[in-house]
Each structure stands twice: as C-alpha cells, then as structure tokens.
Amino acid sequence: MKDGALQEASEPDFEGAAELFGVLSTPIRLRIIGALCDGEKNVSQLLENIVVSQPNMSQHLNVLYRAGVVAKRRSGVQVFYRIGDESVVRVCKAVCSQSDLDGEADHERQRG
C-alpha cells in the first residue's frame, strides 16, 4: 500500500494490515522487534532484556517468524533471529512515536 493511499487500498491490503496488527498486538512481540532493531540475536540474548520464560519467548518468535516479521538462521545449535520485514519496523516506530506524542499531549493538557 502506498503512503497516503488508504482510500485506494484493496480488501487484501486491509486483510494483510489486520493480520499484521494481530501479530503485533502483544507487547512482548513489540519488545522482541525493538530488540532486533539493534541487530541479530539468539534466544538467550533476547531473554537478557525481555523477562519471559524461554518457552514463551520461543512461542512468540515462532509467531513472528511464521508471519514473516522476523527471519532466522541456524549456526550450530544456536538460532539467530533478525528483522525479516523492515516495513514492520516502520509501522512499529510510527505507532510508538504517535503514542509518545499522545502521551505528551495528555501531559500538556493536564498541566494547562
């Protein structure tokens, strides 16, 4: 979908966007994406900064992988994950920065 072309979007575009938002609807998955923005990491490295159990982390990584959000490669017994779709990073940054702006606006209204 082109920027500013929401009115011209087709049904498959909306369905794809809804699927992506479903995948991104969990804070842990957003944290995983944020951590992978700094580069490729294995599960142990992700667990250093994201407090969940190892099986829970693996489950979330599997959802992200199946959706094409992350990619992975095996090196011996280690599996390394990286961002698989840069457009997802742009969506996350846009939503998170908008959320920051909304929070600032709320703070300003409370002070004013």
CA distance 41 to 48: 11
Read off the tokens for 7: 């009115």
> pLDDT value at position 6?
56
The helix (H) or strand (E) run that includes residue 49 is: helix 43-49
| Nearest in space to 92 (alpha carbons), one of 6, 23, 45 | 23
> pLDDT value at position 32?
93
> pLDDT value at position 73?
96
CA distance 13 to 61: 24
pTM of the model: 0.73
> pLDDT value at position 99?
52
> pLDDT value at position 92?
74
Handedness of CA 3, 88, 21, 95 (dihedral sign): negative
- Kindly report the CATH class assigned to 12-111: mainly alpha
Handedness of CA 91, 96, 100, 102 (dihedral sign): positive
Q: What are phi and psi of 79, to 5 degrees?
A: -115, 125
> pLDDT value at position 109?
47
> pLDDT value at position 107?
47
The residues spanned by each domain of the chain are 12-111
| Nearest in space to 71 (alpha carbons), one of 89, 54, 49, 56 | 89
Tens of pLDDT, residue by residue, the chain (112 residues): 455 555 566 767 788 778 888 888 899 999 999 899 889 999 999 999 999 999 999 999 999 999 999 999 999 999 999 999 888 888 777 776 765 544 554 444 455 5
Residue 32 contacts residue 46 (beta carbons within 8 Å):
yes
> pLDDT value at position 9?
63
